[in-house]
């Protein structure tokens, strides 16, 4: 495996869960990590464990802000991780507002982040892009309608 030392890595959804763990691990390997999420305090807590990191407080659904903030940076590694799973009701009982949030973050947010970052990688013909999928992108289960749909979309992307 190539060394990650001094590599510039982006992790979205770095304020919690898998994203925070990946950010810490990348930093341990020597990468310089850009941590993205909406909750500043949580991001800063993770940043303490990641020497050389920076925090960017950003909603991945805000396409112009994502382009503005991430488009001006160059990354060797992009971990497109921010996502959520809310709403476990069967379709007739679900909440369309919750569905919108899940689709916005898990599908449009992921597209926004790649839109802002992949161009520079392609230009340099170098870089690694990782998109967090799920078994929900391969299977479906009762109550998982919308989340599974977004993770099937993730797989397509």
CA distance 65 to 56: 11
Please say whether the beta carbons of 33 and 9 come within 8 A.
Answer: yes
Which residues lie below 8 Å from residue 29, measured CB to CB, with a gap of 6+?
Answer: 3, 4, 5
**Is 141 one of the catalytic residues?**
no
- Of these, 55, 60, 79, 121, which contacts ligand NAP (CB under 6 A)? 60
User: Which member of 121, 147, 150, 152 is catalytic?
Assistant: 147
Instruction: Give the length of the chain.
Output: 157
Please say whether the beta carbons of 83 and 105 come within 8 A.
Answer: yes
Nearer to ligand NAP, 17 or 30 (CB): 17
Write down the least CB distance from residue 26 to ligand NAP, Å.
15
Here's the x/- map for ligand NAP, 76-115, by CB under 6 A: it reads as -----xxxxx-------------------x---x------
- Of these, 25, 29, 42, 65, which contacts ligand NAP (CB under 6 A)? 42
Provide the sign of the torsion angle of the four alpha carbons 112, 113, 114, 117, taken in this order: positive
Contact status: 137 vs ligand NAP (CB under 6 A): no
The structure tokens 């799920």 sit at 134
Write down the least CB distance from residue 3 to ligand NAP, Å.
26
CA 53-57-59 angle, 5° bins:
130
Instruction: Catalogue the active-site residues.
Output: 147
Where along the sequence are the contacts to ligand NAP (CB under 6 A)? 12-19, 37-39, 42, 59-61, 81-85, 105, 109, 132, 134
């Amino acid at each position: 495996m190539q060394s990650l030392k001094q590599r510039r890595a982006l992790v979205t959804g770095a304020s919690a869960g898998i994203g925070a763990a990946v950010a810490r691990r990348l930093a341990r390997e020597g990468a310089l990590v850009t941590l993205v999420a909406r909750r500043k305090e949580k991001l800063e807590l993770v940043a303490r464990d990641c020497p050389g990191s920076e925090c960017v407080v950003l909603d991945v659904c805000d396409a112009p802000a994502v382009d503005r903030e991430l488009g001006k940076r160059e990354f060797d590694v992009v971990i497109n991780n921010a996502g959520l799973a809310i709403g476990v009701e069967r379709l007739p009982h679900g909440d369309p507002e919750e569905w919108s949030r899940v689709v916005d973050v898990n599908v449009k947010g992921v597209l926004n982040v790649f839109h802002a970052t992949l161009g520079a990688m392609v230009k340099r013909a170098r870089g690694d892009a990782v998109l967090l999928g799920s078994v929900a992108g391969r299977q479906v289960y009762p109550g998982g309608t919308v989340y599974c749909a977004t993770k099937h979309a993730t797989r397509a992307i």
